[in-house]
Amino acid sequence: MLLRRLIALYVGLWLYGFSMAVMIRAALGLDPWDVFHQGVTDQVPLSFGTVVAITGAVVLLAWIPLRQWPGLGTVSNVVVIAVSVDAGLWLLPDLHGLPIRIGAMGTAVVLNAIATVLYIGAGMGPGPRDGLMTGLVRRTGKPVWVIRTGLEATVLSVGWILGGSVGVGTVVYAFAIGPLIQLMIPFADRFLPGFPRPERAGSSTPETKPMVA
């Protein structure tokens, strides 16, 4: 079981970074969190990477009241995704022609959803932003797609107000990623242990324990 979880974790993280590279090559709009990062970067004298790191740290602070704790997957998220997205950008050529770019954007969103299901399902600690999602699912009892879509729509709106780049692909990602993840969870749930379970009112069962490595 441990080997299966490790494989799911690192395949998922690598695929996540690669899906980001595909989205960048599609050139139809960034995902909501990167729209937010870009918007903040336009307002402060900091690099894009520094803003991403600071945002991750702030999001991790939000884990505390949600009783979420970092694991191996949380640390690996930062390293593996960074390497994967750079490798993907090196491998993938610039895309030309609107039909090809639309196809690439759709592929990127689906790959991103698969990647998210794999590395969260591994149960070894989600990345900062997905940990916020799983913590809210557990504490509120709302479905994954509701929480994920709400978070994506919120950071998208703030990023756009701050000047981040928004395209049709951004909107597609924001409203498709949550339902896609929700659709894929039942298939992966048979093999992986890490998906969040909503708390019952007044419950102090092991369902409330944080997801750790």
Q: Which pLDDT does position 102 carry in this prediction?
A: 95
- As a whole number of angstroms, the distance between CA 195 and CA 37 comes to 27
Task: State if pTM tops 0.85.
Answer: no
Q: Which pLDDT does position 210 carry in this prediction?
A: 35
Inter-CA distances, 182 with 7, 101, 166, 197, Å: 21, 25, 25, 13
Task: Indicate the domain borders of the chain.
Answer: 2-197
Q: Which pLDDT does position 211 carry in this prediction?
A: 36
Q: Which pLDDT does position 199 carry in this prediction?
A: 46
Residue 48 in 3-state DSSP? helix
Structural tokens at position 129: 């932003």
| Cβ neighbours around 96 below 10 Å, total | 8
* Residues in the chain where the model's pLDDT stays below 50: 198-213
Torsion angle defined by CA atoms of residues 129, 159, 184 and 63, in that order, rounded to the nearest 10 degrees: 20
Q: Which pLDDT does position 162 carry in this prediction?
A: 94
Q: Which pLDDT does position 48 carry in this prediction?
A: 63
Beta-carbon contacts of residue 100 (< 8 Å; ≥ 6 apart): none
